[in-house]
Chains A and B, each alone.
Chain A
Amino acid sequence: MESAIIEKWPGRTYELTIGATKEEGGSRSKKVKLGGTSTLPFLFFEGTIPNPPAIAMEVWDVEPTDWPDVLKNEYGDVLTDPATWAKKCEEFGCDLICLRLKSADPDLKNSSADEITKTVKNVLSATTLPLIIVGCGNNEKDSSIIMSISEAAKGENCLLGVATKENYKTFTAAALSGGHSIIAETPLDINLEKQLNILITDMGFSSDRLVIHPSTGGLGYGFEYCYTIIERTRLAALSGDKMMSQPIITFVGQETWKAKECKSDETEKPEWGPLKERGVLWETTTSVGYIQAGSDIVVVNHPTTVKEIKNYIQKLMLK
């Protein structure tokens, strides 16, 4: 056998559970556990990796008009109803549902907190998978509805997102009152990442209830920057930095399906090959890359991607 130097890390990432079963006061049929790893991704000979990376699929509360047909067609007519859409995702085999409350966006439907609450409740009763719930992306609006979202999902132990430097105070207060975890998002900088984690935990939020979103870059659109940041975050965690030891999430789907490589059809770019395969390939490759870097959750859109990376994770998890 070849000789190898075994690296012993003093640190370990926090283990985080998303979802609560009936006994725990929720209504989920299963829970998803993340993190808890004491080595770099998939280096089983150096440490333990108790939980495989998880796959989440997005469900929107408004029909995504920007999505290319190759993606929309996979869902058929469920795109107008978040509850049935969530059910469909469950069938596709993902581990978590990522509910995106896009309709709250003041530039779209500007849905009220009441409407949002209704959607959250509907989705919760339609699926038994654990939930990631993210706002519309408008800081002000998200701050105004996050308390209602948290209340609507109280006891379900969801993952709420996304908290930024601008809105973390309301997010933290909301997550504390509803008993949820938080996604903390920063723009591609390990120092800013750590700073936001410190600010959130300074409010009395437990550091093991956070998930880091270091920003996601699509393949060809800044992927390598994110890859490095994830790698550095993980190295810091393993070196014992508790403020960087949280699981990491990447939103691969949202970055993939806006890339021209996944949208331009064959008449426009015949040399790029069939559009049908391109998008899936793009999303799968990006996901696989982030999983290799150390992403604990990947959020994707295409059912084939789910199948492909599930298969891939299974192989990686073989010791």
Chain B
Amino acid sequence: MSCKIKFLPSDKEIIVTEGTDLLSAAMMVGIQIYNSCGGEGVCGRCKVKIVKGEIFTDEKEKNDEYVLACRTVCKADMEVFVPEESRVERAEILIKGKEIYTPAEPTDITPAVFEEKFFKVSPLSTKLHLRLPKPSFDDTVADLERIFREIKKSETAGPVMQMGLANIKKLPSLLRAANFNITVTLGNRNGTMELVMVEPGDTSDKNFGIAVDIGTTTVVAYLVNLIPPPSGQKILSAKAMYNPQVSFGEDVITRIIHAGDLSGLDRLHHTVVDAINDLIISLIIENKISLNDVNCVVCAGNTTMIHLLLKVDPSNIRRSPYIPVANLFPVIRAAEAGIKINPRGLLSCLPCVSSYVGGDITAGVLASGMSNFSQLTLFIDLGTNGEVVLGNKDFLVCCSTSAGPCFEGGGLKCGIRAQTGAIENFGIIDDKISIKTIGNTLPRGICGAGIISIVAELFTKGIIDKSGDFVSGSSKHLKKTDEGYEFFITGNISITHADIKNFIHSKGAIFSGIEVLIKKMGIDFHQISRIIIAGGLGNALDIEKSIILGLLPDLPKEKFSFIGNGSITGCKMCLLSNSAMKKAEDIAQKMTYIDLSTDNEFMNSYTASLFLPHTNSDMFPSIKTRETAAKKKSAKQTQKNI
């Protein structure tokens, strides 16, 4: 028997077999519902309300009008209301060039400097305008060889090694119709040159590429003009959106598990490809260009994301000894992966290092330039997976820690991505709150930079103690709710006790990763010359506050720089230069991966870092001096209470 389910408020209907759970039904009809446990009934985020029809749920602790979509099945026709907090909104967010990803604090490492200095202009796809000499009895070279002969004369292109039969079949009529005035598109495929496309006339000024950063939580895309400078080699615009795979679980492990389900891999693959296609479409519409002139895509993402993008089985990534199908995927046609650009356009992915260190890190390291200098540099990516890389031009070691989505605004009661309306700065003086939001609009939630700012401020003002617990009676904004203490920033935006604990676990994971890596290499924090931080957590990462919270090591502020989303920057570099891609491959190969899950030191170091700033305050000498003042205040409070 089948039943009809109507989802509100979107008013979408679907007919499913009796016994289908509501979460699956919603996904089939294209409604994204939050769920971080992969439909196991654990996370409690897929709450829906049954408006019409009988409720069949195996939920044990049902105490309100809501049911969990994954635990509720249909046995007859029904109407289901999906409340706002359960919906994953696919609203894409314009990030206007690099605005959001540029820190308010200026940094010296602008990727452009690097490209000019180290990487020659050689995009993944180039276009050459050719005026072929017309055939005559004096020049009887065949059509195809005639093109090759002309290409050889150009300095930029190497010998053409590949070409599809479809293109050759088109040649006789195309050449003659165009009066031998043509443009060829050359693609750099795995070290060889492919003649991708032949077009009539001169289209060499229309060559675009897309750089995509596929994050576990966020997908960002840049539209880049690939024609040579001065007019080309520029980012035309940038767009970002949540990775809609979030509805299949917030972390990579849950998604790998989901990929193992019947047609799960298919679903995950299509979800992310749809998202990328959406981003591309909106980029080209905005810039009034044709999809046909987009000739290549370069993607960076963690190893799991790349597997899912290419619909390659990721299951061994989570099984000991954690072997991915490939770290370095060859360049393929974008259409093979379902990405809609020019049908003959190419797709290249940045090389991964291991199952848990992906191409996003390779890209970040490339963008940071750390592997070009002899200075010892620490690279920290504050993503859902926090990766830490230590090294210089001679060596690179890295590790990966599970930081959780907190730095991207995920997993918090009022967390949002770094977007307009996100609180990014917070202050409290004499119990009076001041906030700053991205775009200076009304506050909508808290982004990664905001959570750092808030927790640091609450900590320094004594509203939370060193273990992250709220100090009762310390502020009038502190209220006791069903979920324990909650600090209200505005009437409806708050930070809960659980949020703070969540943050402390995230920062602990990052710091202990750094600590273990440093110890493993037998060096001291002070030997590090530069610290480069990447991540999409907002406009500005407050270094000082990050140190106060023990997220970053206590080193002089001038050693730090924040490069925003390093993954997309590296991606763009590879799109524009084949030698950058070569460098990325070199970085990936050179990088030594240290597995923290098998490391004895890590667990100890982790529990030690679940404190503000750290259990061993000696590691944070600059905070220690401040602390004494706070301590005196606290002691006074105790005396008063007695």
A residues in contact (CB < 8 Å) with B: 165, 172-173, 176-177, 189-192, 194-195, 198-199, 202-205, 241
Extra contacts besides A202-B635, A204-B635 (18): CB < 8 Å: A172-B638, A189-B607, A191-B604, A192-B607, A194-B608, A194-B615, A195-B467, A195-B611, A198-B615, A199-B466, A199-B467, A202-B466, A203-B637, A204-B634, A204-B636, A204-B638, A204-B639, A241-B616
Query: Mind listing 16 A-B residue pairs with CB under 8 Å?
Result: A172-B638, A173-B642, A176-B642, A190-B604, A191-B604, A191-B610, A194-B615, A198-B615, A199-B467, A202-B634, A202-B635, A203-B637, A204-B631, A204-B634, A205-B638, A241-B616
Is B641 interfacial (CB 8 A cutoff)? yes
Counting residue pairs across A and B whose Cβ atoms lie within 8 Å, the total is 51
> Given contacts A191-B604, A202-B631, are A165 and B467 in contact (CB under 8 A)?
yes
> Given contacts A199-B466, A199-B467, A203-B635, are A173 and B641 in contact (CB under 8 A)?
yes
Complex: chain A residue closest to B465, CB-CB = A199
Q: Is the CB of A191 within 8 A of B465?
A: no
Q: Chain B nearest CB: distance from A231 CB in Å? A: 14
Q: Is the CB of B638 within 8 A of A191?
A: no
Rounded to whole angstroms, the CA-CA distance of A172 and B634 in the bound complex is 12
Chain A residues contacting B465 (CB-CB under 8 Å) are 199, 202
Q: Is the CB of A195 within 8 A of B635?
A: no
Q: Scan B598-642; emit 1 where CB is below 8 A from any A CB, else 0.
A: 000000100110110001110000000000001100111111011
Task: Please report which residues of chain B, range 452-490, place their CB below 8 angstroms from some CB of chain A when the two chains form the complex.
Answer: 465-467
Rounded to whole angstroms, the CA-CA distance of A204 and B631 in the bound complex is 7
Chain B residues contacting A195 (CB-CB under 8 Å) are 466-467, 610-611, 615
Chain B residues contacting A198 (CB-CB under 8 Å) are 466, 611, 615, 617
Q: Is the CB of B638 within 8 A of A176?
A: yes
Q: Is the CB of B634 within 8 A of A191?
A: no
Q: Chain B nearest CB: distance from A292 CB in Å? A: 23
Q: Chain A nearest CB: distance from B621 CB in Å? A: 15
Q: Is the CB of B638 within 8 A of A203?
A: yes
Interface size on B, residues (CB 8 A): 21
Chain A residues contacting B631 (CB-CB under 8 Å) are 202, 204
Chain A residues contacting B639 (CB-CB under 8 Å) are 176, 204
Task: Please report which residues of chain B, range 5-54, place their CB below 8 angstroms from some CB of chain A when the two chains form the complex.
Answer: none
Q: Chain B nearest CB: distance from A249 CB in Å? A: 21
Chain B residues contacting A202 (CB-CB under 8 Å) are 465-466, 630-631, 634-635
CB-based closest 4 A-B pairs: A204-B635, A191-B607, A191-B608, A203-B638
Q: Is the CB of B615 within 8 A of A173?
A: no
Rounded to whole angstroms, the CA-CA distance of A89 and B611 in the bound complex is 42
Chain A residues contacting B637 (CB-CB under 8 Å) are 203
Q: Chain A nearest CB: distance from B369 CB in Å? A: 36
Rounded to whole angstroms, the CA-CA distance of A189 and B606 in the bound complex is 12
Complex: chain A residue closest to B617, CB-CB = A198
Q: Is the CB of B615 within 8 A of A191?
A: yes
Rounded to whole angstroms, the CA-CA distance of A172 and B637 in the bound complex is 12
Rounded to whole angstroms, the CA-CA distance of A241 and B617 in the bound complex is 10
Rounded to whole angstroms, the CA-CA distance of A203 and B631 in the bound complex is 7
Q: Chain B nearest CB: distance from A12 CB in Å? A: 18
Rounded to whole angstroms, the CA-CA distance of A189 and B605 in the bound complex is 12
Chain B residues contacting A165 (CB-CB under 8 Å) are 467
Q: Chain A nearest CB: distance from B243 CB in Å? A: 34
Complex: chain B residue closest to A174, CB-CB = B642
Chain A residues contacting B466 (CB-CB under 8 Å) are 195, 198-199, 202
Rounded to whole angstroms, the CA-CA distance of A176 and B604 in the bound complex is 32
Complex: chain B residue closest to A178, CB-CB = B642
Q: Chain A nearest CB: distance from B73 CB in Å? A: 40
Q: Chain A nearest CB: distance from B637 CB in Å? A: 8
Choice from B608, B611, B616, B638 contacting A173 with Cβ under 8 Å: B638
Rounded to whole angstroms, the CA-CA distance of A205 and B616 in the bound complex is 19
Choice from B607, B636, B642 contacting A177 with Cβ under 8 Å: B642
Q: Chain B nearest CB: distance from A184 CB in Å? A: 13
Complex: chain A residue closest to B472, CB-CB = A169
Complex: chain A residue closest to B609, CB-CB = A191
Rounded to whole angstroms, the CA-CA distance of A173 and B631 in the bound complex is 15
Rounded to whole angstroms, the CA-CA distance of A198 and B610 in the bound complex is 13
Chain B residues contacting A205 (CB-CB under 8 Å) are 638
Q: Chain A nearest CB: distance from B618 CB in Å? A: 9
Q: Chain A nearest CB: distance from B428 CB in Å? A: 20
Chain B residues contacting A194 (CB-CB under 8 Å) are 608, 615-616
Q: Chain B nearest CB: distance from A9 CB in Å? A: 17
Complex: chain B residue closest to A232, CB-CB = B604
Chain A residues contacting B617 (CB-CB under 8 Å) are 198
Q: Chain B nearest CB: distance from A140 CB in Å? A: 15
Chain A residues contacting B635 (CB-CB under 8 Å) are 202-204
Q: Chain B nearest CB: distance from A295 CB in Å? A: 22
Q: Chain A nearest CB: distance from B601 CB in Å? A: 13
Chain A residues contacting B638 (CB-CB under 8 Å) are 172-173, 176, 203-205
Chain B residues contacting A203 (CB-CB under 8 Å) are 634-635, 637-638
Rounded to whole angstroms, the CA-CA distance of A176 and B641 in the bound complex is 11
Q: Chain A nearest CB: distance from B47 CB in Å? A: 30
Rounded to whole angstroms, the CA-CA distance of A173 and B634 in the bound complex is 12
Q: Chain B nearest CB: distance from A264 CB in Å? A: 36
Rounded to whole angstroms, the CA-CA distance of A176 and B635 in the bound complex is 11
Chain B residues contacting A190 (CB-CB under 8 Å) are 604
Rounded to whole angstroms, the CA-CA distance of A165 and B467 in the bound complex is 9
B466, B467, B615, B637, most chain A CB atoms within 10 A: B615
Complex: chain A residue closest to B631, CB-CB = A202
Rounded to whole angstroms, the CA-CA distance of A191 and B616 in the bound complex is 9
Complex: chain B residue closest to A189, CB-CB = B607
Chain A residues contacting B616 (CB-CB under 8 Å) are 194, 241
